[in-house]
Chains A and B, each alone.
Chain A
Amino acid sequence: MNKALSGGGSSAGHFHWKRPPFISNPVLRYGLLTAFVVYFAYVFNTLEVNPERIVRGIPRAMQIFSGAIPPDFSARGKLIFTGFIESIQITFLATFAGVLLSIPFAFAAARNIAILPIYGLGRGIIIVARSLHPVVLGVLFVKAVGFGAFAGVLTLIIYTLGFVGKLLAEAIEEIKHGQIEAIRSTGAGYFSVLVYAVLPQIMPRLIGLTMYQLDINLRASAVIGLVGAGGIGNTLNSAFGRYDYGTASAILLVMIIIILFAESVSSRLRRFTR
């Protein structure tokens, strides 16, 4: 505080206050700034920006937007409806199965529960599941099990495993040990301890995470259809492919509304369970 107040040149009785910098270490501050500038200078040099192509793109953009306004709900209304229903079905199934699957993985990935080799395995699987974007997973599952909703469900199960598994494992690592000792002192075995001492402690968090994951999976289910894994993304992709921008903008509008609605429902349910 003192340093900040006296900072800046106070020579010749002329006091000028200066805001204390965000990063107080000057070497770190200017080092980061230099690295920042150098990196972005390099990237802007390598990024091929062709102004001519952007200019040529403007009429194309105009064409797209004039096609997209007004949005056309009627021509493919039925397809839009079934697409969204399928997205919602994929979301429900994948969230349910994914959360069930992530419970054992979360136990395996909690350092205070699992022995070291199991911990490493559980953590590794969760990290890989988290690192792969759902669209990447979607492409793989479409190749493995064919186009359609099933590939989408499998994709989102793995996606859920990565997300819920990680956060649930963290919740398990933060539990109180009193209950574990109490249950163990009654002579309960390892799995009884998990069921009666650990699970009740993480249950509220698990339900909250499930609600949150429903919201996230609904968003993701709209995208994985772009690579053939079912749902509204499929419909959107074919609308784009047929230059049917009116239908595409209708889908996007409905998508915004549904996602906002799901978000508010999800956050309200989470507040309710807390």
Chain B
Amino acid sequence: MKNLTTAPLKDIGGESFRWERYTPLQRMRRFAGMFIVAGILLWTISTIDVFWPWVWTAPAEMQDMIYRMIPPNPRALPEILPALLETINIASVGTLLAIIISLPVAYFGARNVSPNRFTLAIARVIIVSSRSIDTLIWALLFVAILGPGPLAGVVAIAFRSVGFLGKLIGESIEEMDWGPIEALQASGASQGHIINYAIVPQIIPSFWAVAILRWDINIRESTVLGMVGAGGIGMLFQVAIDLFRWNTVSMVLVSIVVVVLFGEVVTGIVRRKII
């Protein structure tokens, strides 16, 4: 027994045998990967525009900020609670609006049901541009158009969510079973009946899952809308920061965490109960 554990492995095969985890090619690939990563890091650190003295004082500055934030100021709550409610409402209405817009977008954007290439291209462009521009940038645009307030936030949330919902619902349309559709076509059903009885029942579970997921994400996103003037808790946060009211800032942070967790818990319950 003792002999087995202490004997070097190379003696097992008689001549010089050494167990190795990777083949030489694999090892070369791994080294190449590490080399690339190291090169990128080196380039980044040497060229990035950072004022290094600020980096060395950062821990002290951060500690100072955290000390100023403790304890959170509960007297800010009468201001915070209505803003939190507005945050959730913006997320909900924005998601609802996005769902309404995204259903036709998903239908026209799905390769297997889209009537022709023209509608497919239009739907794809809507999905791509909506998805690639962040909610906050949409908010910046709509605050300029609609003026500051929750309406700009709702529209921004909706514009960002249309692409997300359209893409994922469209993918579930593309993956559905073609059998029921053929069955209905064989019975002479109209296109409306086919959508209603063959397509909708197949995509409805993933539709609800995606819609609920997006509502959860949108609560998180709508917490920052106020920083560009689009309503919700973000405005209070920005004001408290600008006035150096650190105890209010930390109260706002705590309440943001609580409301995001609330959204996660609600979506978790709905997901378990329904889907």
What residues of B have a CB within 8 angstroms of the CB of A259 in the complex? 132
What residues of A have a CB within 8 angstroms of the CB of B257 in the complex? 127-128, 131-132
| CB-based contact A148/B49 at 8 Å | yes
| Max chain B C-beta neighbours (<10 A), residue from A60, A220, A223 | A223
Partner of A252, one of B45, B128, B133, B204: B133
Residue B55 CB within 8 A of the other chain: yes
| CB-based contact A136/B41 at 8 Å | no
Partner of B256, one of A131, A144, A226, A256: A131
Query: Given A135-B227, A150-B58: A46 and B89 within 8 A (CB)?
Result: yes
Residue B44 CB within 8 A of the other chain: yes
State in angstroms the CA–CA spacing of A140 and B134 once bound together: 20
Interface string of A26-51 (1 = CB under 8 A from B): 00100000000001100110111110
Distance of B56 from chain A, by nearest CB (Å): 10
Comparing A69-77, A88-96, A167-175, the segment that makes contact with chain B is A88-96
Distance of A16 from chain B, by nearest CB (Å): 13
Residue B162 CB within 8 A of the other chain: no
Partner of A64, one of B136, B145, B147, B237: B145
| CB-based contact A64/B261 at 8 Å | no
What residues of A have a CB within 8 angstroms of the CB of B214 in the complex? none
Instruction: Report the count of interface residues on A (CB-CB < 8 A).
Output: 60
Residue B141 CB within 8 A of the other chain: yes
| CB-based contact A256/B133 at 8 Å | yes
Partner of B93, one of A22, A44, A135, A146: A44
What residues of B have a CB within 8 angstroms of the CB of A89 in the complex? 44, 47-48
Q: Could you tell me which residues of chain B, from 108 to 125, have a CB within 8 Å of some CB in chain A?
A: none
Query: Given A127-B257, A150-B51: A252 and B144 within 8 A (CB)?
Result: no
| CB-based contact B146/A54 at 8 Å | yes
| CB-based contact B132/A39 at 8 Å | no
| CB-based contact A146/B65 at 8 Å | no
What residues of B have a CB within 8 angstroms of the CB of A90 in the complex? 48
| CB-based contact B132/A260 at 8 Å | yes
Q: Could you tell me which residues of chain A, from 223 to 241, have a CB within 8 Å of some CB in chain B?
A: 223, 226-227, 230, 236-237, 240
Distance of B206 from chain A, by nearest CB (Å): 12
Residue B151 CB within 8 A of the other chain: yes
| CB-based contact B224/A43 at 8 Å | no
Additional A-B contacts beyond A57-B147, A135-B227, A143-B241 (4; CB < 8 A): A44-B93, A93-B44, A150-B51, A256-B132
